Amino acid sequence: MKWMKARKWPAAAGKFSLSGMGGPAGGNNPDGPLYEDEMYKPVGLLTLQGDYEKHQQAFAALGVETLGVRRPAELDDICALVVPGGESTTLTRLMDRIGLRQPLLDFAVDHPVMGTCAGLIMMSSGLVDEKNSDFGVEPLGMLDCLVRRNGYGRQIDSFTAPVGIDVLEGSSHTFDAVFIRAPRIVEVGPLANVVAVHDGEPVAVRQGNLLGLTFHPELTADGRIHQAFLEMI
């Protein structure tokens, strides 16, 4: 297994932040968010399949409006996008049937995108131990990392564990992450950076305005990761 050492990013005391990293995130711009003209658009949720409703509830708890995305034209109405957990085979099939693949790639060039669990699989650059044709899963190739589907086991092997996040300062440096049929990040390329680890292995990576997590932050009452994603807008 090969992966890059997690970097510590600057953050306000006691506050989780992903904005200290290089790349097109709003927090890096001293003059304000790079997407200032889109600040008042809702956050998009890819609602083809999966647990997007839990993400909607997580953002609602933060007072943030969301909008379901099922068609390419709907990407024009949002400021950022979440690709939720679900079934990567189904996501691939529906994404290609609707014609969302290239529009999603175009959107990700200059908008924040967060993928959780199967969402990370779809954002990754490739799969380990299987070909795309084996199960019909074809990643988008957004994130410079390779993943193994169900790398932490099947549904019965699901678990919750504290995840070490180097960008946390203050009283707590951990996030209680929920792993359900979670993918494993087995290699991280030079374009991406590890931002969270569990048992010495990467469980979250960031590449500029892209964030991929092997776990489900939407299944906890802790809204820090969703808040941090908002700070990337």
Instruction: For 164-188, write each residue's pLDDT tens digit.
Output: 875 544 445 789 999 998 999 999 9
Q: What is the mean pLDDT of the chain?
A: 82
**Is 216 a known active-site residue?**
yes
Could you tell me whether strands 210-213 and 201-207 are parallel, antiparallel, or unpaired per DSSP bridges?
antiparallel
Catalytic residue among 111, 117, 138, 187: 117
Section 150-174 average pLDDT: 69
**Is 117 a known active-site residue?**
yes
**CA atoms of 26 and 7, how far apart (whole Å):** 19
pLDDT at 6: 32
Q: Is the pLDDT of residue 197 over 50?
A: yes
* Nearest in space to 148 (alpha carbons), one of 217, 197, 214: 214
Catalytic residue among 55, 111, 198, 216: 216
**How would residue 112 be classed by pLDDT, with cut points 50, 70 and 90?**
very high
199-211 tens-digit pLDDT? 989 999 999 999 9
Dihedral angle over CA of 127, 184, 53, 159, nearest 10:
150
18-58 tens-digit pLDDT? 543 433 333 333 344 444 556 689 999 999 998 899 999 99
Q: Count the Cβ atoms, other than its own, within 10 Å of residue 72.
A: 16
Residues of the chain with pLDDT > 70, as a percent, come to: 75
**How would residue 113 be classed by pLDDT, with cut points 50, 70 and 90?**
very high
Catalytic residue among 111, 145, 198, 218: 218
Residue pair 210/25 in contact by the 8 Å Cβ criterion: no
Residue pair 2/215 in contact by the 8 Å Cβ criterion: no
**CA atoms of 173 and 179, how far apart (whole Å):** 18
**CA atoms of 5 and 201, how far apart (whole Å):** 10
In order of their start, the domains of the chain are 26-230 (3.40.50.880)
> What is the CA 176 to chain-centroid distance, rounded?
16
Residue pair 199/47 in contact by the 8 Å Cβ criterion: no
* Nearest in space to 85 (alpha carbons), one of 127, 53, 49, 117: 117
pLDDT at 37: 58
56-66 tens-digit pLDDT? 999 999 999 99
**How would residue 92 be classed by pLDDT, with cut points 50, 70 and 90?**
very high
**How would residue 130 be classed by pLDDT, with cut points 50, 70 and 90?**
confident
Q: Is the pLDDT of residue 13 over 50?
A: no
**Is 111 a known active-site residue?**
no
